[in-house]
Amino acid sequence: MNHKVVVITGANSGLGLETAKYFSGLGHQVILAVRNIEKGRKAKEEIVQLYPEANAQVYQLDLSKLQSVREFVETLSSQVDTIDILINNAGVMMPPYFKTEDGFELQFASNHLGHFALTGLLLPLLEKGEASRIVTLSSIAYRNAVIQFDNMHGSHGYKSYTFYGQSKVANLMFAKELDKRLKANHCRTISLATHPGISSTNLFTLGRKKTPWFVKPLLKIVSQPAEKGALPVIMAATDESLLGGELIGPDGAGGRKGNPTIEVPKKVTYTDSTMAELWDISEDLTKVTYDF
């Protein structure tokens, strides 16, 4: 890989930080797009300690707020000419019910709608890259999830895990539909999805300040460290044999941990009609239309 510009959302910890370390170690320019600037700066310090010549830059981005997404894109667009890799990594997992200032359920807003808007607004910069990629993180929670089109924002009942699953299957459907539309419009950019299996990250705080005591022993048994969980992300972002539209996850039992490989979702996971419906709703809610 030649010199690249890599944008990673939620790069201050967990999978995002491990991915940022990887690309920084290769000498690429890495944009740490983070909600909390102070945590972002600490992450940058950690990267620079490993790689003193690292070109890592911290930008503020709150994906739960569409105005923040637009401000981030405006700022970044004034400072870089192209983007080669966009990694839609940031996520919220199973918080108490909360509606954002835009009126959306928090997980759907942060995990899907924010990334949908961000990707669409950055697409012109991505198209300037020679072999650019968009990698969107899903989760094994996608497997039993559906999009509740009649209750997308939890107004008629809310269960945190159900709505987490909804946001994660939305990530997968978005990545797949995006790649289909990119190819149909003869774009140079490709889109892929990935999931880390069960990785020990700060997502497992379950909406609390710290990971609950009863979760920690379970994580030791079923999970893998963040640096291993980041491998499917890195494969999706760099493997030249991938054509776009693939889902990359761990190869171990149940896809919970292991080495990265292509995972084929069950046919019932999504259909062309549900992906198109989600796309249309996402455009309507975010007011972001893709300029293919």
In one-letter notation, the amino acid at residue 231 is L
Q: Is 206 left (phi over 0), alpha (psi -120 to 50) or beta?
A: left
**Set 158, 161, 270, 290: catalytic member:** 158
Name, in order, each residue with C-beta under 8 angstroms of 201's C-beta and a sequence gap of 6 or more.
Answer: 13, 14, 15, 226, 229
Residue with tokens 């309507």: 284
Angle between helices 114-126 and 66-77 (to 10 degrees): 20
Instruction: Judge whether 172 and 270 are in contact, CB under 8 Å.
Output: yes
**Active site includes 290?**
no
DSSP percent split of the chain into helix, strand, coil, nearest 5:
45, 15, 40
The residues facing 194 across adjacent strands are: 137, 248
Six-digit token string for 100: 């954002």
Closest C-alpha to 171, from 121, 230, 225, 110 = 110
Which residues are catalytic, by number? 158
